[in-house]
Homo-oligomer: A and B are copies of this chain.
Amino acid sequence: MRATTIHAPYDMRVEDVPEPVVQLPTDAVVRVLRACICGSDLWAYRGEAARQPGQRIGHEFLGVVEETGSEVSTVRRGDLVVAPFMWSDGVCDYCREGLTTSCEHGGFWGSVGYDGGQGEAVRVPFADGTLVQLPKDAASDDHLLSALLTLSDVLGTGHHAALGAGARPGATVAVVGDGAVGLCAVLAAKRLGAERIIALGRHEVRTDIARRFGATDVVAERGDAAVEAVRELTRGQGAHAVVEAVGTEQSMRTAVNITRDGGAIGFVGVPHGSGTGLDLGVMFDRNIALRGGVAPVRAYIPDLLPDVLDGTIDPSPVFDMTVDIEGVPGGYKAMDERTALKVLVTGDR
């Protein structure tokens, strides 16, 4: 089959690789119908996260079950399924508590020896714990498929950020980061009842999506000017709930400074750089909490799925470019150059 591989920074290839097969009784093989490129894939693309030459990549996909191991009981051949960005066994302490990202047997797509989502098919470990069934008729609805694909990462991650920040009815939420996760956090905050949602971003295409997702205000300024602008919008107090969806020191510093006393930062931007951007003295004086991390999206899918299926929320506008598998390297280039927000990859139909 064809699959995306990474050989060096900026060297993405689509190559012939062995067809995946069931290796363990808990495995399934899924033929990929839709996948996408994540902002966090760019860290590997740019060489800021190390990869071995030839390693697979891609951690967001949905598709059709092709084969299952003898112990798999919740999905079967022909089922339409979505995979979260990590696999998990579904039975350990952490999985039972909903923290599937801490699963004792969990792992990441594209790890050495494992398939990635940006390929024609994927061997899925712990299929019962990992995969979630979708209605079969969704397979013929392009728009709905795009929306459902966000359950694999960005929608659940935005939801995790909004929960961590404490988005709730009546609250003012501010979102730092105008990438797909930040935009999904706007959508999630709206869904959780936030009264006012301030999106920080300067790219009009993105802030337009933010408004469509529920943002009531947009702040285009950065740094100190952004802090001042948010404070002006909030009677000088700051936002009750702040989402940090970038992962840089600067964005975290902004997040701390726009949080209202007693509020919280929900952080889901993968931390980069040596410093944290956290001023612990300020957080102490003002009782600002920090909650978040890698999102246990598997645990959120049952909660979010019905709202996506019935159209209550439609995250599909985060995709603004579509490629087939051979076009994946071009998709990386577009996202790296910020000419695309998020790239959809259509698989074998």
* A binding-site residues for B, Cβ under 8 Å: 93-94, 97, 99, 101-102, 164, 237, 261-262, 264, 267, 270-271, 276, 278, 280-281, 283-294, 296
Contact with A99, one of B101, B262, B264, B290 (Cβ below 8 angstroms)? B262
> Chain B nearest CB: distance from A221 CB in Å?
25
* Inter-subunit contact B284/A267 (CB<8 Å): yes
* Inter-subunit contact B284/A294 (CB<8 Å): yes
A261 and B94 contact, Cβ closer than 8 Å, known pairs A284-B267, A289-B289: yes
Q: Point out the residues of chain B lying under 8 angstroms from A281, CB to CB.
A: 271
30 contacts between A and B (CB under 8 A): A93-B237, A94-B261, A94-B262, A97-B262, A99-B261, A99-B262, A99-B287, A101-B285, A102-B261, A102-B287, A264-B291, A271-B281, A271-B284, A276-B276, A276-B280, A278-B280, A283-B290, A284-B292, A284-B293, A284-B294, A285-B293, A286-B293, A287-B292, A287-B293, A287-B296, A288-B293, A289-B291, A289-B292, A290-B290, A291-B291
CA distance A127 to B271 in the complex (A): 46
* Inter-subunit contact B102/A262 (CB<8 Å): yes
Q: Point out the residues of chain B lying under 8 angstroms from A164, CB to CB.
A: 289
* A-B contact sample (16 more), CB < 8 A, given A94-B261, A267-B284, A287-B293: A93-B237, A97-B262, A99-B261, A99-B287, A102-B287, A264-B291, A271-B280, A271-B281, A271-B284, A283-B293, A285-B294, A286-B293, A287-B294, A287-B296, A289-B290, A289-B292
